[in-house]
Amino acid sequence: MIGVENIEYLPYYDGSDSKKPNFTGFSEKLLKQFSREFGYSVKFYPAPLNRLYRDLVTENYIDFKYPDNPQWQKSFKDTFSKSNPIIYSESILDTVTGIASLQQSTRLSDCSRVGKVRGFTSQSYKSHFMKKQIDVVETADTSELISLLLLKRINCIYISKDVLNYKMREEFENRVPVYFHDKLAVDVQSFHLSTVKYPDVIEQFNLYLSTHSDQVRALKQQFDIGL
């Protein structure tokens, strides 16, 4: 069983449907392709992020967590690293997250009222978000985040470039241009599959990523994601 976040973060993944334990998006397609190749039956378990780490490390309720990264929840993981070391796969994809606005040219000083998804942290902008003169507005999801920007209730948002492009195309139909500012600092983070109990499966997954790189690349192109 693979523990996944119960949020909508398309095109990467969507585990937000509380009525049905569905998991969709690029990640679902990739993990199911791997499971078919190696003869596994895969089941997804959507849950809040903090619960997933407990279920993986202390409760052993889930077999794998996705996505994961060695730097996420590091202090919690370090507490249990000796007794329950977490094994990570090779990087599956890299995400680029940064500042977007309605202006073609934006300086960080222009971002006095910034929106971000609740629970998301930024290494590049952590100190900026903590300044007294900066008003940080947190939302439940990326759709609400973009809506607040389009309504001009905030002047900048902190968002994944892939997610922004997907949302503007599929949900907002590119009615109003929103600009992602590559020239400002960005956070680049990698997605991994992790486990405590099954390091041999992680080895198989790494083998799959290397031997089926064309298939993985085609899937990324299908969802228009990746650096």
Domain ranges of the chain: 2-93+190-223, 96-187
CATH of domain 2-93+190-223: 3.40.190.10
CATH fold match for the domains 2-93+190-223 and 96-187: yes
Instruction: Give the whole-angstrom CA distance, residue 149 versus residue 154.
Output: 5
pLDDT tens profile 86-142: 999 999 999 999 999 999 999 999 999 999 988 788 889 989 999 989 999 999 889
If you average pLDDT over every residue of the chain, what do you get? 92
Q: CATH assignment of 96-187?
A: 3.40.190.10
- From 121, 219, 109, 117, select the one nearest 164 (Cα to Cα): 117
Contacts of 81 (CB under 8 A, 6+ apart): none
Is the model's pTM score more than 0.85?
Answer: yes
Tokens representing residue 168 in the block: 């503007």
Residue 186 to residue 161: CA distance in whole angstroms: 10
Greater model confidence, 103 or 16? 103
